[in-house]
C-alpha cells in the first residue's frame, strides 16, 4: 500500500481524529497496513511490545492467562479502537494475549519509531499522550465497573 | 373503597384501568411459565374473568403469592396484546423464588398496573438509543414493541444491551429479529466470557465506541442496575445528548405501590407513584447521591 493511502487510513481513524496534518506526516513512516485472519494470535503475554494497532475492521479479543483458571477473555476491541499501549511504558512487554476473532484489518504503528519521533517532537508526544491517557482512563473505568459485577443479585 | 375508572386521585392521571381498591389484588391464572436463563423466568398470566388488561410500557404490577407476599414486577409484554400479560422475573428473594415454583393453572394475585411509563410518542421523528443492562431489558421491551409498531414514525433505533455472561442474555430470538430490521442497530456485550464467545466483551458503555450519534436529534431510554445507568447517562451526556432527552427507570422496594407506605420514597418522590420512569432532568440532582 502506498504511503499516501496509509496516510488516509491514519487520518480516518477516530484515535487520530483532528490530529494536525504535520503530525500525521511525521508518524507516517512508523505506520504499516496490516491484516490478521480470524483466529490469529496477534501477540502473547511477555513478548516485546513492538507495535500497537489502530483497528479498522474486525474484532480483537484480549485474554489474560489465569493459570489454573485458564484463559479468561476480558475485553474485545473493534473498529475505531486502539489495541495495545505496552509499547509506551518500559519495559515494553505485553501483559495480555490478543487474538483476532474476526478478520482484522488495522494500521500497525512501530513503538520504537514512534517513541523516537516523540522524543524529537515533544508537542507530538504530548498530543499522543493525551489521547492515550483518555483510552487508559476509559479502560480503567470500564474495568472498575466490571469489578462491581453489577448484574448479580444475591439470593436472600 | 371503590374508585371510579380514571378518577383515582392516588394514581397518575394516565392510569385508568384500576376500578377497584388498588390494595385488593385481582385473581390471575398462570398460563405459561418458562426459564429465560438459569435464574430468570417469564410467566404469562390471564385474568380469571378473562378480561383484558391495559397497561403502558414501563408500568409494573404487584404480584402476590398467597401466603408469601408481594413483589413489584415490570410488565414486559406487548401493550397491544392485552388478553394475557408477561412478566420476566429475576429469582432473587422469597416471593420471586416461590413464583418460579408455580405451575400452569396456579392462581396469583395481581395489583396494577402502577407507575409512570415510557412515552415513546415524544420520540417521533427522532433517533432513539436504548441502553439496557441485565434484566433491564424486560421493562423496556413493551416500549420497543410500541416503537416497532409505529416504526416509520421514528428514525434510527439503537439498542445497546449488556449482560453478565452470554447465558444471561434475555430474549435472544427477539434481539436477533430486531437486529435484522432496517435502520435498527442491536449491539450486545457481556461482562464475562470465554474463548467460545465471539461477541463483544466489556461493559455496556464500551458499545458507544461503535455507534455514531446525531446527539441533537437523539432521545434515550436507559434501564438497568443504577450504577450501570449512571455511567451510561454520563456517556450519553458526554456524546452530546441533552439531559432532558434522557429517560430512565428506577427501582426501589415497592410495597403499597400507591405512594402511601413510603418504602420507595426517593427524597420528595415516590418511585411507585411518580416513577418508575423519570426524565433524567427530574432526578438528576438526587440520582448521584448514593445515600438516597
Query: Over 90: is that where the pLDDT of B194 sits?
Result: no
Per-residue confidence (pLDDT) for residue B14, from 0 to 100: 54
Per-residue confidence (pLDDT) for residue B21, from 0 to 100: 86
Q: Describe the crossing of helices A111-120 and A122-148 by its angle, rounded to 10 degrees.
A: 130
Share of chain A above pLDDT 90, in %: 81
pLDDT digits (tens, 9 = 90+) for A8-17: 999 999 999 9
- The CA distance from B224 to B231, in Å, is 11
This prediction's pTM:
0.89
Distance from CA of A120 to the nearest CA of B (A): 32
Q: Is residue A28 part of a domain?
A: yes
Average pLDDT over every residue of A28-49: 96
Distance from CA of B35 to the nearest CA of A (A): 17
Q: Is residue A113 part of a domain?
A: yes
Contacts of B267 (CB under 8 A, 6+ apart): B286, B292
What is the rounded (10 degree) CA torsion for B167, B172, B143, B126?
110
Average pLDDT over every residue of B219-247: 95
Distance from CA of B80 to the nearest CA of A (A): 30
Per-residue confidence (pLDDT) for residue B256, from 0 to 100: 86
Per-residue confidence (pLDDT) for residue A155, from 0 to 100: 45
CB contact under 8 A, A151 and B209: no
Distance from CA of A48 to the nearest CA of B (A): 24
Q: CB of B191 within 8 Å of any CB in chain A?
A: yes
Confidence label for B1 from pLDDT (cuts 50, 70 and 90):
very low
Per-residue confidence (pLDDT) for residue B41, from 0 to 100: 97
Q: CB of A83 within 8 Å of any CB in chain B?
A: no
Instruction: Find the angle CA(B136)-CA(B137)-CA(B143) to the nearest 5 degrees.
Output: 115
Tell me whether residue A5 is exposed, middle or buried, using C-beta atoms within 10 angstroms of its C-beta: 0 to 12, 13 to 18, 19 or more. exposed
Q: Which CATH number fits domain B13-114: 3.40.718.10, 1.10.1060.10, 3.30.360.10, 2.40.30.10?
A: 2.40.30.10
Query: Over 90: is that where the pLDDT of B72 sits?
Result: yes
Share of chain A above pLDDT 70, in %: 95
Q: Is residue A155 part of a domain?
A: no
Per-residue confidence (pLDDT) for residue B289, from 0 to 100: 73
Q: Across all residues in chain B, what is the average pLDDT?
A: 90
Q: Is residue A153 part of a domain?
A: no
Q: CB of B6 within 8 Å of any CB in chain A?
A: no
Confidence label for B73 from pLDDT (cuts 50, 70 and 90):
very high
Per-residue confidence (pLDDT) for residue B19, from 0 to 100: 54
Per-residue confidence (pLDDT) for residue B3, from 0 to 100: 43
How many structural domains comprise chain A? Answer: 1
Average pLDDT over every residue of B83-100: 95
Q: CB of B211 within 8 Å of any CB in chain A?
A: no
Average pLDDT over every residue of B258-281: 87
Query: Over 80: is that where the pLDDT of A114 sits?
Result: yes
Tell me the pairing of strands B127-133 and B157-163: parallel
Q: Which of A13-22, B96-105, B224-233, B267-276 has the lowest mean pLDDT?
A: B267-276
pLDDT digits (tens, 9 = 90+) for B217-227: 999 999 999 99
Supply the range of the domain harboring residue A104. 3-148
Across A86-116, b (16+ Cβ under 10 Å) vs e yields bbbeeeeebebbbbbbbebbbbbbbbebbbe
Are residues B291 and B284 in contact, defined by beta-carbon separation less than 8 angstroms?
no
Instruction: Find the angle CA(A108)-CA(A110)-CA(A114) to the nearest 5 degrees.
Output: 120
Domain B120-249 in the same topology as domain B13-114 = no
Per-residue confidence (pLDDT) for residue B10, from 0 to 100: 53
CB contact under 8 A, A73 and B195: yes
Q: Which of A45-54, B159-168, B189-198, B225-234 has the lowest mean pLDDT?
A: B189-198
Query: Over 80: is that where the pLDDT of A51 sits?
Result: yes
Model ipTM over 0.90: no
Q: Of B94, B193, B199, which has the smallest distance from its Cβ to A156's Cβ?
A: B94
Contacts of B157 (CB under 8 A, 6+ apart): B127, B128, B130, B147, B151, B178, B181, B183, B184, B185
Q: Describe the crossing of helices B226-238 and B280-287 by its angle, rounded to 10 degrees.
A: 120
Helix, strand, coil % over all residues of chain A, rounded to 5: 40, 30, 30
Query: Over 60: is that where the pLDDT of A144 sits?
Result: yes
Long-range contacts of B279-288 (CB under 8 A, 24+ apart): B279/B244, B279/B246, B279/B247, B280/B222, B280/B233, B280/B243, B280/B244, B280/B246, B280/B247, B280/B248, B281/B243, B281/B244, B281/B246, B283/B248, B283/B250, B284/B243, B287/B230, B287/B233, B287/B248, B288/B230
Question: What ranges do the domains of chain B cover?
Answer: 13-114, 120-249
Q: What is the CATH number of the domain that holds A122?
A: 2.60.120.10
Name which residue leads in pLDDT, B247 or B250: B247
Confidence label for B17 from pLDDT (cuts 50, 70 and 90):
low
Residues of B in contact with A59 (CB under 8 A): 198, 200
Distances in whole angstroms, Cα of residue A133 to Cα of each of A10, A88, B204:
19, 11, 21
Tell me whether residue A18 is exposed, middle or buried, using C-beta atoms within 10 angstroms of its C-beta: 0 to 12, 13 to 18, 19 or more. exposed
CATH code assigned to B120-249: 3.40.50.80
Residue A75 three-state SS:
strand
Amino acid at each position: 500500500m502506498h504511503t499516501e493511502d496509509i496516510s488516509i487510513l491514519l487520518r480516518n481513524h477516530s484515535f487520530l481524529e483532528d490530529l494536525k496534518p504535520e503530525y500525521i506526516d511525521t508518524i507516517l513512516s512508523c505506520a504499516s497496513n496490516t491484516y490478521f485472519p480470524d483466529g490469529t494470535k496477534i501477540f502473547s503475554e511477555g513478548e516485546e511490545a513492538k507495535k500497537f494497532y489502530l483497528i479498522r475492521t474486525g474484532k480483537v479479543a484480549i485474554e489474560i492467562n489465569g493459570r489454573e483458571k485458564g484463559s479468561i477473555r476480558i475485553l474485545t476491541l473493534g473498529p475505531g479502537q486502539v489495541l495495545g499501549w505496552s509499547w509506551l511504558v518500559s519495559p515494553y512487554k505485553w501483559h495480555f494475549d490478543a487474538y483476532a476473532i474476526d478478520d482484522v484489518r488495522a494500521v500497525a504503528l512501530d513503538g520504537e519509531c514512534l517513541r523516537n519521533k516523540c522524543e524529537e517532537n515533544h508537542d507530538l508526544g504530548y498530543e499522543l499522550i493525551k489521547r492515550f491517557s483518555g483510552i487508559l482512563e476509559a479502560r480503567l473505568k470500564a474495568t472498575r465497573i466490571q469489578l462491581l459485577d453489577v448484574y448479580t443479585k444475591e439470593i436472600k | 373503597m371503590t374508585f371510579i375508572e380514571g378518577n383515582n386521585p392516588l394514581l397518575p392521571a394516565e392510569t385508568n384501568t384500576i376500578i377497584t381498591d388498588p390494595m385488593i389484588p385481582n385473581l390471575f391464572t398462570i398460563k405459561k411459565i418458562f426459564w429465560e436463563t438459569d435464574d430468570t423466568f417469564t410467566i404469562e398470566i390471564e385474568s380469571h374473568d378473562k378480561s383484558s388488561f391495559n397497561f403502558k410500557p414501563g408500568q409494573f404490577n404487584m404480584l402476590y403469592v398467597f401466603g408469601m407476599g408481594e413483589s413489584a414486577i415490570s410488565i414486559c409484554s406487548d401493550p397491544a396484546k392485552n388478553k394475557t400479560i408477561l412478566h420476566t422475573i429475576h429469582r432473587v428473594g422469597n416471593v420471586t423464588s416461590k413464583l418460579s415454583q408455580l405451575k400452569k393453572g396456579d392462581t396469583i394475585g395481581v395489583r396494577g398496573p402502577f407507575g409512570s411509563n415510557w412515552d415513546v410518542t415524544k420520540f417521533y421523528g427522532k433517533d432513539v438509543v436504548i441502553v439496557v443492562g441485565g434484566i433491564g431489558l424486560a421493562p423496556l421491551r413493551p416500549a420497543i414493541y410500541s416503537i416497532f409498531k409505529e416504526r416509520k414514525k421514528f428514525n434510527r433505533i439503537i439498542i445497546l444491551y449488556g449482560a453478565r455472561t452470554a447465558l444471561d442474555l434475555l430474549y435472544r430470538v427477539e434481539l436477533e429479529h430486531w437486529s435484522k430490521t432496517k435502520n435498527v442497530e442491536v449491539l450486545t456485550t457481556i461482562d464475562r466470557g470465554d474463548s467460545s464467545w465471539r461477541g463483544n466483551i466489556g461493559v455496556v458503555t464500551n458499545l458507544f465506541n461503535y455507534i455514531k450519534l446525531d446527539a441533537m436529534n437523539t432521545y434515550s431510554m436507559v434501564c438497568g442496575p443504577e450504577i450501570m445507568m449512571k455511567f451510561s447517562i454520563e456517556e450519553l451526556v458526554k456524546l452530546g445528548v441533552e439531559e432532558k432527552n434522557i429517560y430512565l427507570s428506577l427501582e426501589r422496594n415497592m410495597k403499597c405501590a400507591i405512594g402511601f407506605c413510603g418504602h420507595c420514597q426517593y427524597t420528595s418522590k415516590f418511585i411507585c407513584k411518580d416513577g418508575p420512569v423519570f426524565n433524567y432532568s427530574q432526578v438528576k440532582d438526587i440520582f448521584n447521591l448514593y445515600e438516597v
